[in-house]
Structure 1
C-alpha cells in the first residue's frame, strides 16, 4: 500500500485549478503582517491543538528557539490535524515570487512539480537551497507514510519515510497556506494511525464521469486518504468497457482509456485503486447477457443477481472477466465481493436449491451444504486473481462463512459492513478468528442514495464525535485489544436510488463526512471541537 512507486514522466496537475485560490489566500494573510506569523491555529483552537496544553497531540516544545519578535507558533492548520508539533518563534514560511520547490530524491519530482503548481511558485529540481524554498526528501527508517516537516530560517524542509510520506507533507503545506497564508515556524512529526484510509464508489448503479472521479481522488489525496474502491459491476449495470465481453457493458460506461487516466492520477497521488467485480451475487448485468447462467430454485424461479455456481460455464465467464480487468488494473489489490448471494439467505438453502445441495455433497462429502459451494467459489476466484498478480484480496464480511466442509482462504482481508443485516455475524467473531478487518460500518460510513431500508445519510459530526475504527457495527466499539487487527476505514457511496441526487450534490454532501473519516483514521483522537474542525475543513479546501 505504501511502498515506493514506479514514477511516471507525466502526471495530471491541479495547479491551474487551485493556484489562484491559494495565492489569493496568501495575499490576504500577508496584509496581516507579523500578527499572524506565530499563529498556526484556527483562532479558536482548544485542548490538544493549543501549544501550551501538555495533553495536545501536537505538543509545544519546552525550549522554543530564542526570539522576542514573534509569538510561539501553533500547529499548521491541516485536515487531518498534524499529530505532533514542536513550537518555535519565527515568521514561518509563505510563498514568495522567488520561492521554489526543490527535491533531493529523484522519485519526488512529480510531487515537487505538483506542489509548485498548486502554490504558484517555481519548480527548481535539485538546485541549491536558499531562503524561501521548500525542500522534499526521502530518508527512510520511520513508520510507513510518515514525514517530518521543519520550518526554520525562511525555508520548509519535508522528509518522508517514503515517497507517500513526503507527499503528505506537501498536503500539509498546501492546506496551511490555503487556510492561513503561511506555514507556521516549528517542526511537525506526522504519521497515520491506520494503513488503509479510503473512499469507495458504486459506479455500477449510477454512472459517474472520469472527471468527477478524478476530482474526488484529488480531494481524497489532500485528506491523506490512500485507497479508492471502484464497484463497477452489479445487478443494474456493468460500467467499464470490455474487449472480451462487450455484450455485458452498459450505457455510460467508462472507457478503458478513461480508466487508465484515472489510474495514472491515483498513482501520482499515492492512492491505491481497488476494483471490484462482485460475485457470485450482484451479477444481474452480466447474467442479462447470459440468462442460461442464472440461478433458479427448485420450482424454476430465477434468483435475481445470482449466478449458478454449480454450472462450470459460470466460473469460466467470471474468470475471463477477472483476467481481463486484472490486466487493466495493474495494482496488487482486488475485491472479490461475495456478499448477499441470495441462495444463502433462504431459510433452507438445501431445500430451495436441491441441485446445488447434491453437488456440494458430491464434491465435499455427506455433510456439505450450499454454503460450501459458495466458499469454494470465492476460493477459486481468489486463485484466479492471485495468478494475475493480485496479492491483497478483499471480501465482504457476509461472504466469509464459518465452519463448513470448505474453509475460506486465509490470505484475504474482510471488509465489515453488515450493521443492519438480520442474522449477520458480530465483528468479534471475525476478530477472534484472527481475520484482518477494514471498517465500513453502515451506521456511519454508508452514504446510500435515497436512504432506503432505514439508512440515513451520514454526517461529519456523527463520524467525528461518535465513530472510530473500533466501532465496527452499530455504535459500540469492540475492545481496544483488537485495534491492530483493524486496518482502517472506508467511506462508501452506494447508489441504490440512483436519481435521488446528482453527482454534484453527492460531491458536496460527502465533503465533511469524508474529512471526519480522514481525521479519525489518521489520528483516532479528536484535537478540536466539531465546530472548530468543520470550520477548518472548509478553510483548507
Structure 2
C-alpha cells in the first residue's frame, strides 16, 4: 500500500503525475492569496498541524514567490466534485516539486492538510500527484455518553484531535442521563453530579473543536432519560415506578418551563458553531405498555394529548406534540436542525414532526418501532447510528446485547451507510441519508477507563469514517488499514 492509498479515509480520486516530488524543507512557508484574517488563521492552523505531527517549521506568508518546500493555498472550486458535496472538498496537487492545496472553503484546506500529514507518516516526500477529494455524506459523528461517566476536558480535547485526523466532523455531547448530569448549570446547580464539566471548560472544548472543524452537537434527552435531574425535582416527574420517575411530566406547564429555562442556559454555549440540537425522545415508555397500558399508567398525559389534539388523540400523539413544541422553541433559539432518536416515533399517526427534524435511526428490535420507509414518507432525513455496527457499550452485565464490540474489519466489509438496523432492511436513497455516527454508551462506567475507551473506539470509528466519507472504495488491504491506524494513534 502506497503512502497515498494509505490515507484514512481513502481519497476519492488519486492521479499519479510525472515529475518531481514535494519535499518539505525548513524554513518554508504556507502561502495564502490574500491578507484576510480568516485565511491567515486557517494557514496558522495548518502550520501548527504540521509542526505537531512532523516537527516541520512553516511560517505563514501572503503571496510572494513560491520556493521549494512551500505550500500554496488557493480558494477555488475543485473539478469533478458532485453537486452538493463542495463544502468539504479539496484538491492537493504536487507538480514540479511544488504543493498546492485548493478548496472552496477553509474546511477543505484543513482536510487537505490532514491528508498531507498522513502521507508524510509513510514517506518523507509526496510524489507528483493530484488528489481530488470530498465527503460522500455530510455527517460523520461520534456520540459520547458523558452523563453516565464523567470525561474530563483533556479527554475531549484528545478526541477532537482524533476526530479531525479521520475527518469526522461532529461530536454529539450527551450530558444528561438517569445516572448523571455533567454540564454546569449556573441557574440550577442542584441538578449536577459530583463531577461535571464547568461552563468555562465547555467553552474551551467548543472553541478547540471549532479550530479543528469539529461541530459540537448538544444532546439533552427529553422527556425521558431525565432521572438524575428529577431526583432534585420530584414534583416534575411523570409518576412513580422505574420509567415514570425518570420522565418529565410534560403535561405540567411549570415542568416544561423549567426544562426550557435549562435550554435557554445551555443554548448560549452551543449556538453559533452548530444549528443542531439532539432532543432525544427515546425509550420514554416501555414497549410493553403500548398501546393499552399507556393511558392507564399516565392519565395526565392522555388528557394532555386530547386537550391539544382532540378526543381521538392517544398518549403517543401527545408525546409527539411535545417534541414539536420543543423543536419550535429551539428553532426560535437558532437551532434550525433538531434531531431525535427513532424508536418511539410515528407509532400512532395523528401527529407529524416537522420534516426538518433529523432522525437518528438506531434499531427496530420491536415491530412497533418505525421502519425507515415510514420516516422517509414523513419527509425526514436519516442519520445511521447502527446498533449492529456502531454501539460501543461499556458494560459488565452478562445480558448486555452490545457487550462485544464490532471489529473494524467487519465494518469495512459489511457496513453500508444506506442500509439501516431494521427488521427488513432495504437501501435508502443516498440523498435522504445524512451520514453515520459511532456511539459510546457508558452503561457501567467503571468497566473501562479513559485510555481503554480511547483505544477501544479508535478502529471502529475509523472504519465508520472510511465507509461514510468514501463508501465506493473497497478496502482490500485490511492489514494496511490497521497499520495506518497504528501509526496515526501514536501521533494523536
TM-score, normalised by the number of residues in structure 2 = 0.90
Deviation at 1:417, TM superposition (A): 0.7
TM alignment of 1:304-315, pairs within 5 A:
304-315=245-256
In structure 1, the partner of 2:356 is: 411
- SS of the equivalent of 1:276 reads strand
Residue 424 (structure 1) shift: 2.3
Gaps of 5+ in 1: 1-40, 43-73
SS of residue in 2 equivalent to 1:320 = helix
Partners of 1:203 and 1:334 in 2: CA distance: 16
Provide the secondary structure at the position in 1 that maps to 2:369.
coil
* Matching residue of 2:62: 126
Quote the Cα distance in structure 1 between the aligned partners of 2:165 and 2:127. Answer: 19
Q: Distance in 1 between matches of 2:367 and 2:345?
A: 16
Name the counterpart of 2:192: 249
2:343–2:363 contact (8 Å) kept in structure 1: yes
Partner of 1:538: 486
Aligned residue pairs, count: 467
Coordinate RMSD, CA, aligned: 2.0
**Does residue 521 in structure 1 map to residue 464 in structure 2?**
no
Q: Is the 8 A contact 2:226 2:246 kept in 1?
A: yes
Q: Is 1:464–2:412 an aligned residue pair?
A: yes
TM-score by length of 1: 0.82
Structure 1 contact 283–307 (Cα < 8 Å) conserved: yes
8 Å CA contact 1:239–1:253 kept in 2: the answer is: yes
Superposed CA deviations along residues 222-258 of structure 1, whole A, max 9, x for unmatched, are: 1111111000001011111111111111121101111
Matched residue, 2:328: 383
Structure with greater Cα Rg = 1
Alignment of 1:154-233 (within 5 A): 154-233=97-176
Alignment deviations for residues 60-94 of structure 1 (CA, whole Å, 9 cap, x no partner):
xxxxxxxxxxxxxx735311111111112334223
* Distance verdict in 2 for CA 1:439–1:386, change over 3 Å: same
Alpha-carbon distance, 1:346 to partner? 1.3
Correspondence 1:148 to 2:79: no
Aligned to 1:235: 178
Contact 1:343 1:353 in 2 (8 A): no
- Per the alignment, in what secondary structure is the counterpart of residue 180 of structure 2? coil
Question: 1:508 — aligned with what?
Answer: 455
Paired residue for 2:9?
Answer: 80
CA contact (8 A) 2:42 2:110 kept: yes
Residues 307 and 314 in structure 1, CA contact (< 8 A), matched pair in contact too: yes
CA distance in 2, matches of 1:449, 1:151: 45
Secondary structure at the aligned position of 2:463 is classed as helix
Q: Is the 8 A contact 1:439 1:486 kept in 2?
A: yes
Pairwise CA distance, 1:403: 4.1
Question: Match for residue 116 of structure 1?
Answer: 47
SS of the aligned residue for 2:118 comes to helix
Q: Secondary structure at the match of 1:473?
A: coil
One of 418, 428, 435 as aligned partner of 1:488: 435
Q: Partners of 2:349 and 2:252 in 1: how far apart?
A: 21
**1:396 corresponding residue in structure 2:** 341
SS in 2 for 1:488: strand
Corresponding residue number in structure 1 for 2:30: 101
